[in-house]
């Protein structure tokens, strides 16, 4: 059995849906299909989920949002008509969307999750109809009926214990099952969504639960690339990655695959195969537990901006029991998650995302550190970018860190910080944001182009 998830670009219009239908018809093992809401049809188009969010904002601001709701209804109605679905099916689909009129904004924002879920849910109903019209026995399955039980706050669903056992029963169904991604239900029947892009998470959870031989994640690219193509247009494709490599790369800016979706697949040992709906003959990228280290020292290079460093110095810090715990507790009490904590004997750096620092938060944190920890010095460096050089091959390769540092030195890029995790799968550099693209380009030359020249010799 295979579980196949299709992203928004794969479902953007009738033509794309027909491609997906042909893919399901071509492989009888694709028994469970997880779908997203329709994505962009062209560059300046709006994703359906964005339209639903905008509709919600209109309602929360006291506007009726009828114009936006009409656009959403028309989007699905046009797809259904272009697919040749009969009028009764079109009416049923559009009526289901218009039911969101009865949703009322609430203080705890629960209504937002119910609103956002409409996109995926309608896609699933529509695609099940299309499969049946094309001779494929298929059934729409609501996440509640499937047993996808969750808990959590708006946009942060977490599956409940026992959910995987319930979902495993889906493998007993004979027809193709079409399940909307992105959301589940609490035992009380309330919808809670996963984080944005969470249809990947739904697909991975179901693939793990039913013990799929592979989880196919269809998108609009032939493969994951070794570096951002906006920086290196001819970036080399990655044919195979380990779960650890993909996790590191996703964290630092690779957006092809949702980073949280790796966990269910990783725990169950289910290979993930990223493929292109528009070019299914392409090799794609497989994410697996292990890969041969001979395939290259570095798998990919990723980068992300928007970080800052809180740099703390105190003489004999290393002898002060509980210093690190008390420092991190100050962040915790201000609800600030931290990313990295490079340390020395008398200093400690806390890397956080600028986006989590609300108005006045950083000032409060600095004041508390000064008062409660009696530090000698504290300073903040803003506008940092983190560059991640990732590869299982670094475990057995001598000089990877030296090669990376030398490459940056030759480019005249000052390294603000360097950190290698204990797994040695990734090497992280902190640099100024304005140097980000240039740093990535030079590192790519060092680890990919130079490597090719060495092999050819």
CATH number, domain of 180, equals: 3.40.1160.10
Say whether both 165 and 310 belong to one domain.
Answer: no
Say whether both 8 and 98 belong to one domain.
Answer: yes
For residue 319, being part of any structural domain is answered with yes
Q: Residues 333-354: what's their mean pLDDT? A: 91
* Band of residue 147 on the pLDDT scale cut at 50, 70, 90: very high
Report yes or no: 253 and 301 within 8 Å, Cβ to Cβ.
no
Is 393 annotated among the ligand-binding residues?
A: no
For residue 294, being part of any structural domain is answered with no
C-alpha–C-alpha distance, residues 87 and 91, integer Å: 6
* Average pLDDT of the residues of the chain: 90
Q: Residues 216-241: what's their mean pLDDT? A: 92
For residue 240, being part of any structural domain is answered with no
Is 399 annotated among the ligand-binding residues?
A: no
Is 119 annotated among the ligand-binding residues?
A: no
| 3-state class (DSSP) for residue 234 | coil
For residue 131, being part of any structural domain is answered with yes
Chain-centre distance of CA 161, in angstroms? 23
Six-digit token string for 222: 């032939």
Is 7 annotated among the ligand-binding residues?
A: yes
Say whether both 214 and 308 belong to one domain.
Answer: no
For residue 287, being part of any structural domain is answered with no
Query: Which value, to the nearest 10 degrees, does the dihedral of the CA atoms of residues 226, 41, 38, 302 take?
Result: 20
C-alpha–C-alpha distance, residues 209 and 421, integer Å: 31
Is residue 349's pLDDT more than 80? yes
C-alpha–C-alpha distance, residues 272 and 372, integer Å: 47
| 3-state class (DSSP) for residue 299 | coil
Q: Residues 330-343: what's their mean pLDDT? A: 91
pLDDT value at residue 29: 97
For residue 278, being part of any structural domain is answered with no
CATH of the domain at 388: 3.30.2130.10
Is 219 annotated among the ligand-binding residues?
A: yes
Say whether both 208 and 310 belong to one domain.
Answer: no
Contacts of 54 (CB under 8 A, 6+ apart): 46, 65, 68
The pLDDT tens digits for 429-452 are 999 999 999 999 999 999 987 644
Is 8 annotated among the ligand-binding residues?
A: yes
Give the predicted TM-score (pTM) of the model.
0.86
For residue 251, being part of any structural domain is answered with no
Domain boundary among 164, 198, 220: 220
Domain that holds residue 391: 300-456
pLDDT value at residue 454: 37
pLDDT value at residue 418: 86
Domain count, the chain: 2
Say whether both 30 and 138 belong to one domain.
Answer: yes
Is 448 annotated among the ligand-binding residues?
A: no
Domain boundary among 220, 238, 256: 220
* Band of residue 108 on the pLDDT scale cut at 50, 70, 90: low
The pLDDT tens digits for 242-280 are 988 888 888 777 766 777 788 899 999 999 999 999 999
Calculate Rg over the CA atoms of the chain.
24
Query: Which value, to the nearest 10 degrees, does the dihedral of the CA atoms of residues 372, 373, 376, 378 take?
Result: -80
Domain boundary among 220, 255, 289: 220
Say whether both 176 and 310 belong to one domain.
Answer: no
Say whether both 319 and 202 belong to one domain.
Answer: no
For residue 61, being part of any structural domain is answered with yes
Is 49 annotated among the ligand-binding residues?
A: yes
Say whether both 304 and 216 belong to one domain.
Answer: no
The string of DSSP codes covering 237-295 is: EESEEEHHHHHHHHHTT--SS-GGGHHHHHHHT--EEEEETT-TTS--EEEES---GGG
């Amino acid at each position: 059995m295979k579980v196949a998830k299709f992203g928004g670009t794969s479902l953007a219009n009738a033509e794309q849906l027909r491609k997906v239908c042909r893919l399901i018809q071509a492989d009888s093992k694709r028994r469970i299909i997880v779908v997203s809401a329709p994505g962009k049809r062209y560059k300046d188009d709006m994703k359906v989920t964005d339209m639903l969010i905008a509709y919600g904002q209109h309602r929360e601001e006291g506007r009726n949002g009828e114009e936006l709701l009409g656009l959403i209804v028309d989007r699905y109605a046009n797809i259904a008509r272009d697919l040749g679905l009969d009028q009764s099916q079109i009416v049923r689909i559009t009526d289901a969307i218009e039911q969101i009129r009865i949703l009322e904004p609430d203080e705890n924002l629960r209504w937002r999750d119910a609103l956002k879920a409409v996109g995926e849910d309608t896609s699933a109903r529509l695609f099940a109809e299309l499969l049946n019209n094309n001779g494929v026995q298929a059934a729409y399955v609501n996440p509640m009926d499937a047993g996808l039980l969750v808990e959590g706050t708006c946009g942060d669903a977490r599956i409940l214990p026992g959910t995987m056992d319930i979902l495993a029963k889906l493998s007993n169904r004979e027809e193709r099952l079409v399940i909307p991604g992105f959301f589940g239900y609490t035992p009380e029947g309330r919808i809670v969504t996963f984080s944005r892009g969470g249809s990947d998470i739904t697909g991975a959870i179901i693939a793990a639960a039913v013990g799929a031989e592979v989880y196919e994640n269809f998108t609009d690219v032939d493969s994951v690339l070794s570096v951002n193509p906006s920086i290196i247009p001819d970036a080399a494709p990655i044919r195979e990655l380990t779960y650890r490599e993909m996790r590191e790369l996703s964290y630092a800016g690779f957006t092809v695959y949702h980073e949280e979706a790796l966990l269910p697949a990783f725990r169950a040992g289910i290979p993930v195969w990223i493929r292109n709906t528009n070019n299914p003959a392409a090799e794609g990228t497989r994410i697996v537990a292990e890969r041969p280290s001979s395939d290259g020292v570095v798998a990919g290079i990723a980068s992300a901006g928007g970080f800052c460093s809180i740099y703390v110095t105190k003489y004999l810090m290393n002898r002060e029991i509980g210093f690190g715990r008390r420092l991190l507790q100050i962040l915790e009490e201000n609800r600030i998650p931290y990313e990295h904590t490079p340390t020395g004997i008398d200093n400690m750096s806390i890397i956080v995302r600028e986006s989590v620092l609300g108005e006045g938060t950083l000032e409060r944190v600095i004041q508390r550190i000064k008062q409660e920890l009696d530090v000698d010095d504290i300073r903040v460096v803003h506008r940092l970018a983190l560059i991640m050089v990732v590869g299982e091959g670094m475990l057995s390769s001598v000089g990877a860190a030296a090669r990376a540092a030398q490459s940056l030195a030759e480019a005249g890029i000052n390294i603000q910080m360097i950190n290698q995790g204990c797994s040695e799968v990734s090497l992280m550099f902190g640099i100024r944001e304005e140097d980000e693209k240039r740093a990535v380009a030079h590192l790519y030359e060092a680890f990919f182009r130079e490597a090719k020249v060495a092999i050819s010799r």
